[in-house]
Structure 1
Amino acid sequence: MIPVDGFKGETVAVLGLGRSGLTAARALQAGGAKVIVWDDGAQGRAAAEAEGFDVRDLTKPGALEGAVTLVTSPGIPHLYPAPHLAIRAAWDAGVAVDNDIGLFFRSLGHDAPRTVCITGSNGKSTTSALLHHVLTSAGRTAHLAGNIGRGVLDLDMPGPDDVVVLELSSYQTELARSLTPDICVFTNLSPDHLDRHGGHGGYFAAKRRLFAEGGPDRAVIGVDEDEGRFLAGQLQEAPVDDRVIRVSTAKLDGPGWNVTAKKGWLAETRKGRQVASVDLRDIAGLPGRHNHQNACAAWGAARALGLSPRDIESGLRSYPGLPHRSQLIAERGGVRFVNDSKATNVDAAAQALQAFTGIRWICGGLQKEGGLDGLKPHLGHVARAYVIGREAAAFALDLGGAVETEICTDMATAVARAAEDAQPGEVVLLAPAAASFDQYDSFEKRGDDFAARIAALD
């Protein structure tokens, strides 16, 4: 655990007692703070009480009296669509609002590790895990935390030669009061969490804050969308500025530092000259164009950390992949079953659909804003869609006849029907293009159910 500095003898409130909140409370206490906590759920409050924390309803008048800071968990809205009542109370009382990421950065001493922060709409989990794998494969001591794996304050205090890789969501980047990363990575941007950020511009602003206020020594930026180009342009001082590494799935011209993956070939160029290349097409853990973009982003960050092309390529080739992200579950009778339950929005599902041919597509769930029109240009490889979810009929209707559909409603039916129809050489792909919360607690639970149904096939 990393004890939080700067609050010894002070009262600090913690709102939300899930993984990051309860860890933050422990870390604050370890640093000498007087900690009061609250969670809207009885289970979270009970867990805190069992550890001896002072549980106090922070929405009540006077509950924050004497507190200097309120630390809130990522899932709790602090502005849009409406601030939590405890956040409002903090504003009214003049109490600062922060999160565990801000506490982490303020607690690093003079012998701080190198930190790499990775954000974006899609691919940030894979990029983070891939970079961590590349570093450890090359013999570097690296830690993976944030929005993936462990809460950041749950890490043991890293040493000065270590590297901390943090996956950060927009919920985390928009609120952290202290941001001092060494390297920042922006993968891409597509519409997501728009209600939480007051629209697309607010969503991008939350991501951009990591770069604008973080002031990284180097920035690795995906430039396949205008937002990435804008961000790179803001950070770059001249055409040749090696503080910015541009990443793309198309060829990039110009004299800067670029890492591209056109048609499956990764190429690194600097000052107009190619300095390294790798064929990504036969790397099993990185299938498809979207994973090639992730590989480019991880490559750029690893190069910024001083790794050689040979060491990075070795790490890419041994990468096993992440659960629920283009994960090969099984192969039966020449049919592959692939779990991409993390494809919870249209853009992520479109990338998964482009990675395979001969697809039996399991999709559906709790739709996000914007509809499904963005998927329609990418359905050419889909033989049939097997739609799940409580609103399966509406989801199928929204596809607008672009693909043949079968309304299955539940995962068991969808897997059984897709497996029955699939021919050798085809892929049964779970890429829902929707959130899981109409039927599952998380996308992980949905992916686990998919895998269990495959295991149960006759």
Structure 2
Amino acid sequence: MIVSPAFAGKRYAILGLARSGMAVLESLHASGAELLAWDNREELRDSVADKALIADPLESDLSGYDAIVVSPGVPLNTHPISQKARLDGVPIVGDIELFARARSALPPHRVVGITGTNGKSTTTALVHHILISAGVPAVMGGNIGLPILSQEPLPAGGVYVLELSSYQIDLTESLDCDVALLLNISPDHLDRYDDFDGYAASKARLFDMLGAHHTAIFASADDKSRLALQGLLDLARVEGIVDTASRNIAGQPDWPSLQGPHNLQNAIAAVAVVEALGIAEAQWRPALESFTGLPHRMERVAESGGVLFVNDSKATNPASTGPALGAYPKIHWILGGLPKSDSLAECEPFYQNVVRAYTIGEAGPLFGQLLADHVPVEPCEMILTAVQRAAANARPSEVILLSPACASFDQFRDFEARGNCFRCAVQSVIESGMIGTEGAEATG
């Protein structure tokens, strides 16, 4: 784990003992900090009773504490811990800020910070893959993989590749990335912000922490990204500003796990990042071909009877699903869940690629109405039904794509559970020989 003398003798209150919270506790304890910890789950409180004072920070006197460390999942706009922190005069931080404060004790290294509404995980994993392929010691963390503080420090010359959500940036004050990347900004998580402007400003704060001699990369032409880019240019504070919005890279057909216009954008951005770190084309190009992608993000689950099944369960909003529809010319599209908006506007440019849509979950009726004048729609409610109907209708060279454009919480614990359900349904229809049965009946 990462430890630091910067924490020795200091006092921290930790709210939430899930993965990142537990990593914070272990790191701070091993660094010699004095801790107060709390979680609503008694078994988690009991598990750390030998390392921290167990008490609810909302009911404790925190004056004199160095910080309250909260999980990114704690909504600062509504949770009473925000008012408590103000009353006691204690800053609220997250594990990424603690990592930033621990950096001075680590072997010489560099940090990449990647944020944006869509594509963060794929781009983070791709940057990490390119670095490892080039022989550079690297780990990835933040909003992906293991909590960063629980990972072993890299040797000199290593690179920490961090996926950063807006929530994590909100809890960070001093992360000076060597390379900071903004992929794109579209409306999301608006329950945590006053409005879209507030959400966009949270993303852009990554560049406020950037040192003058470091690199800022902007990958998209959307309005909010352009505004953040122009703001940084106007300040004339950061020397290395790179705009990849109009760049292109040849060879995408050779990258099986990076299909679709959104993944081309991700690849272009990742290449800009690694080139800023000194990686040459002879190193990054083969890595684009060998990249295997992430589970639940344009994941090729199976192919049977000439029909490809793709799991894109991580597409939890229309802005993420739209480009996925651009990846293939003939798609049986499974969509729905807990809607984040009443529009599919970002998907509309790709309707010509949709053979048929199959709606599921709470958003099913709404999405059925939105699509009715554009593509054939079958209301299915459940993923298994949707996969069965899509498999029966699909022909060779067509694709069955789960790209919900919705959160999963109406029917599933998270998008991973939804994607796993899709995988099971795919296996079921393959084993039952259902693929193309509607077509066989029609022509028999």
**TM-score of the superposition, structure 2-length normalised?**
0.92
Separation of aligned partners in 2, 1:124 and 1:380: 27
Among 184, 195, 200, the alignment partner of 2:196 is 200
Counterpart of 2:29 in structure 1 is 29
Alignment of 1:113-128 (within 5 A): 113-128=109-124
195 and 237 in structure 1: CA distance in 2 versus 1, 3 angstrom threshold:
closer
Q: Deviation at 1:384? A: 1.2
Q: Secondary structure of 1:336's partner?
A: strand
Alignment of 1:171-250 (within 5 A): 171-215=167-211, 217-236=214-233, 243-248=240-245
Q: Deviation at 1:23? A: 0.6
Q: Deviation at 1:2? A: 0.7
* C-alpha contact (below 8 Å) 1:345/1:433 kept by paired residues: yes
Count the aligned residue pairs.
Answer: 427
Deviations 1:44-77 (A, max 9, x none): 435544x6543211222x3435422100110101
Counterpart of 1:105 in structure 2 is 100
Q: Which amino acid aligns with 2:6?
A: G
Separation of aligned partners in 1, 2:239 and 2:207: 15
214 and 44 in structure 1: CA distance in 2 versus 1, 3 angstrom threshold:
farther
Separation of aligned partners in 1, 2:123 and 2:379: 34
Separation of aligned partners in 2, 1:345 and 1:73: 23
Separation of aligned partners in 1, 2:330 and 2:251: 24
Separation of aligned partners in 2, 1:30 and 1:166: 23
* C-alpha contact (below 8 Å) 2:63/2:90 kept by paired residues: no
* C-alpha contact (below 8 Å) 1:386/1:406 kept by paired residues: yes
Task: Say if 2:82 is the partner of 1:87.
Answer: yes
Alignment of 1:322-361 (within 5 A): 322-361=294-333
Q: Deviation at 1:282? A: 2.5
Deviations 1:396-430 (A, max 9, x none): 23435332211111111111111111111110000
Separation of aligned partners in 2, 1:380 and 1:42: 53
Among 283, 301, 317, the alignment partner of 1:311 is 283
Q: Deviation at 1:237? A: 7.0
Separation of aligned partners in 2, 1:159 and 1:434: 41
Deviations 1:16-57 (A, max 9, x none): 1111111111111111111111123445435544x6543211
Counterpart of 1:273 in structure 2 is none
Structure 1: give runs of 5+ residues left out of the alignment: 253-259, 267-277
Counterpart of 1:55 in structure 2 is 54
Task: Say if 2:393 is the partner of 1:421.
Answer: yes
Q: Secondary structure of 1:59's partner?
A: helix
Separation of aligned partners in 2, 1:410 and 1:159: 48
Q: Deviation at 1:431? A: 0.2
Separation of aligned partners in 2, 1:330 and 1:14: 43
Deviations 1:317-353 (A, max 9, x none): 1111111111110001000000111110011110101
330 and 115 in structure 1: CA distance in 2 versus 1, 3 angstrom threshold:
same
Deviations 1:123-177 (A, max 9, x none): 1111110010001001111111110001111111223310110000000012212
Separation of aligned partners in 2, 1:170 and 1:358: 35
* C-alpha contact (below 8 Å) 2:34/2:52 kept by paired residues: no
Separation of aligned partners in 2, 1:43 and 1:402: 52
Q: Deviation at 1:391? A: 4.4
Q: Secondary structure of 2:103's partner?
A: coil
Separation of aligned partners in 2, 1:331 and 1:151: 34
* C-alpha contact (below 8 Å) 1:5/1:106 kept by paired residues: no
* C-alpha contact (below 8 Å) 2:339/2:362 kept by paired residues: no
Deviations 1:365-405 (A, max 9, x none): 00003522332332111111111114422332343533221
Counterpart of 1:271 in structure 2 is none
Q: Which amino acid aligns with 1:219?
A: A
Q: Deviation at 1:199? A: 1.3
Task: Say if 2:47 is the partner of 1:75.
Answer: no
* C-alpha contact (below 8 Å) 1:4/1:104 kept by paired residues: no
Q: Which amino acid aligns with 2:73?
A: G
Counterpart of 2:14 in structure 1 is 14
Counterpart of 2:154 in structure 1 is 158
* C-alpha contact (below 8 Å) 2:113/2:181 kept by paired residues: yes
Separation of aligned partners in 1, 2:362 and 2:226: 39
Q: Which amino acid aligns with 1:443?
A: F
Q: Which amino acid aligns with 1:173?
A: I
Separation of aligned partners in 1, 2:372 and 2:385: 22
Q: Which amino acid aligns with 2:151?
A: L
Separation of aligned partners in 2, 1:299 and 1:10: 40
Q: Secondary structure of 2:401's partner?
A: strand
More helix per residue:
2
Separation of aligned partners in 2, 1:331 and 1:337: 6
Deviations 1:270-322 (A, max 9, x none): xxxxxxxx321231011011000000011001100001111110111111111
Counterpart of 2:418 in structure 1 is 446
Separation of aligned partners in 2, 1:24 and 1:321: 29
Separation of aligned partners in 2, 1:351 and 1:220: 21
Percent identity between the two aligned chains: 41
334 and 432 in structure 1: CA distance in 2 versus 1, 3 angstrom threshold:
same
Q: Which amino acid aligns with 2:284?
A: I
* C-alpha contact (below 8 Å) 1:117/1:167 kept by paired residues: yes
* C-alpha contact (below 8 Å) 1:99/1:175 kept by paired residues: yes
Structure 2: give runs of 5+ residues left out of the alignment: 433-444
